[in-house]
Amino acid sequence: MAPQSTQRALSVYLYIPNIIGYFRIIINCVAFALCYSHKTLFAILYFFSFFCDGLDGWFARKFNQVSTFGAVLDMVTDRVSTACLLAVLSQLYRPGLIFLLLLGLDITSHWFQMYSTFLSGKTSHKDVKDKNNWLLKAYYGHRPFMAFCCVASEVLYIILYLLADEQTTSVLDVCLSTIKETPLLSLSFFVTLIGWAVKQVINVIQMKTAADSCVFYDTKRSK
């Protein structure tokens, strides 16, 4: 590789949003190392990493440092973080299979979406203007709506994580007891539950539409 090309590649690695991405990885590693021994500290670190997820996008647009590497780094960090949290919840609750299925859906949906994006020649997996589903368009087309669904899902998982104890391992029991708690907690839980449910529906829709795009690419290539 020529020195100039090497310098350009290095500059992309050192983009501010990408440095934030590296920082998020370190925070998550520390957080999950403490997840079974310091629950409150884990929740704080996890949420701080989640907050930084919004910062890197802002910096990317502010300083015109949008990059394919940064987009992939951001998605991989998000997916791995959520996957690890779901894996922890599968150990704290029964049936743990619920969280493992959610983990599988999350990874499969985003992998299909990312791969179909590159097959179609798009530069961003959030470009769904050519899709027919209104909910998918609303999710990626309206940042506040997407933020609500994402934040609600993560908050719900953290609430379940903080409420887990050795005596209560049933997901249903914890959900029912939380709803019966103080109005503020029950309202917060209900709102996050709505956002979480919408995001899971979107994950299924995204997986199906992305799979259709892959099949369309195959049929077009075979002609």
The per-residue pLDDT for 223 is 66
Alpha-carbon distance of 139 to 137, in angstroms, equals 5
How many helices (H) does the chain have, and how many strands (E)? 9, 0
> Dihedrals φ, ψ of 170, to 5°?
-90, 125
Residue 10 has pLDDT above 80, yes or no: no
Model-level pTM? Answer: 0.89
AA identity, residue 206: Q
**Domain 3-222 listed as CATH 1.20.120:** yes
Alpha-carbon distance of 211 to 116, in angstroms, equals 7
Instruction: Encode pLDDT of 100-121 as tens digits.
Output: 999 999 999 999 998 898 888 8
127 is catalytic: no
Instruction: Kindly state the average pLDDT of the residues 79-102.
Output: 95
Q: Give the three-state DSSP class for 162.
A: helix
The per-residue pLDDT for 7 is 52
Alpha-carbon distance of 117 to 113, in angstroms, equals 6
The per-residue pLDDT for 185 is 84
User: Choosing from 56, 74, 78, 106, which is the catalytic residue?
Assistant: 78
Alpha-carbon distance of 90 to 222, in angstroms, equals 43
Instruction: Encode pLDDT of 26-82 as tens digits.
Output: 999 999 999 999 999 999 999 999 999 888 888 988 888 988 899 889 989 999 999
Instruction: Encode pLDDT of 150-177 as tens digits.
Output: 999 999 999 999 998 866 678 988 888 8
Instruction: Encode pLDDT of 184-221 as tens digits.
Output: 888 889 999 999 999 999 999 999 999 999 998 898 88
Domain ranges of the chain: 3-222
Alpha-carbon distance of 71 to 7, in angstroms, equals 20
